[in-house]
Amino acid sequence: MRSWWENCASEPDEEILAIDAMEDSVVPLDDKTARIRRLITSLELCHHKAERHVEVIIEAIGSGSASKGPGTRPPGQRQPVEEMWGRCAASLSAWCAGCPAEALELDVGGIPASQLVGFIGDRSPLKEWQVQRIVDKVRSFLEPSFRYAEIVEYPEHYREHSDFRHLTIQTIIRDAVDGREAEITLASAIDHLEPCHWDFVGNLSIVLKAIGGDLSPEKPFAACGRNIKLTPIRHRMKIVTNTLRAFCEVGDMPKDVDSYVLRLLGARTPIKHWLAASLEKTISLQLGF
């Protein structure tokens, strides 16, 4: 299994093997082509900017060069979503420090912080410890030098609070995965609470309610690889994959294609064919098309 596919598959199928054969016919890859392929490998459709990331990759395939993508933002520049993450961390930190819920006036993704912490219920040392883990998770996205230690994976990090860790692992949230009944531990939900996720605030609400004792959420917890089919860009990505398959001339011409995407891709070449097929397969595997 080639490392190109690490974000969508663990074993090759016939299509992956065929795409790998395309790569073999165009090697050695120049730096620009390799960079575009790495952008495809870095694609995560649970990301709140995933649709734009796909557009950037398509533009790069068409032009033959990638000037945008992860790591290209100027140092010190912050996105509006990071301001929301900061308000989230500040609000939860204030609650952990003893601030009453009604005194929290910050807004977190359209929900008053006072409402969010209200989900937690009566204060306790266990709840404070659990909420602090959420603060740590958000802080790890705001401060590159700060590392979050997963509750499930690193028991030695929480040796001094092993009882809190154990109780958090024993707390089970009952929801659904792809429409089927499922379970996830509170510890795992905190570990997989990614601020960059398209439904971070919804997931945050589920976790805070679980800390407060509500273990049967109205909607399921979504994360990278879990309930990814619920992404709001699913329909758009189906059109994109149809268009990429049309560009690669795979099977009959699909009905729903985007002519603008085809214009961006331009004339087909062996390199473009390989990259477009790689992108289509990556999207299809992640979203289960």
Percent of the chain with pLDDT over 70: 94
For 49, counting Cβ atoms within 10 Å of its Cβ (0-12 exposed, 13-18 middle, 19+ buried), the class is: middle
pLDDT score recorded for residue 253: 67
pLDDT for res 71: 53
Greater confidence (256 vs 127) lies with 127
Is the previous residue joined to 80 through a cis bond, with omega within 30 degrees of 0? no
**pLDDT per position as a tens digit, 83-112:** 999 999 999 999 999 988 777 888 999 999
Residue-wise pLDDT tens digits, 140-163? 999 989 999 999 999 999 999 999
> Would you call 233 helix, strand, or coil by DSSP?
coil
- Residue 75: the pLDDT is 56
Longest pairwise C-alpha distance within the chain: 64
The predicted pLDDT at position 213 comes to 97
State which amino acid sits at residue 57: I
Residue for token pair 């800390």? 211
Report whether pLDDT(251) > 80: no
Question: pLDDT grade, residue 77 (50/70/90)?
Answer: low
Across the range 174-179, mean pLDDT stands at: 95
Q: What is the pLDDT of residues 20-58, one digit of tens each?
A: 999 999 999 999 999 999 999 999 999 999 999 999 999
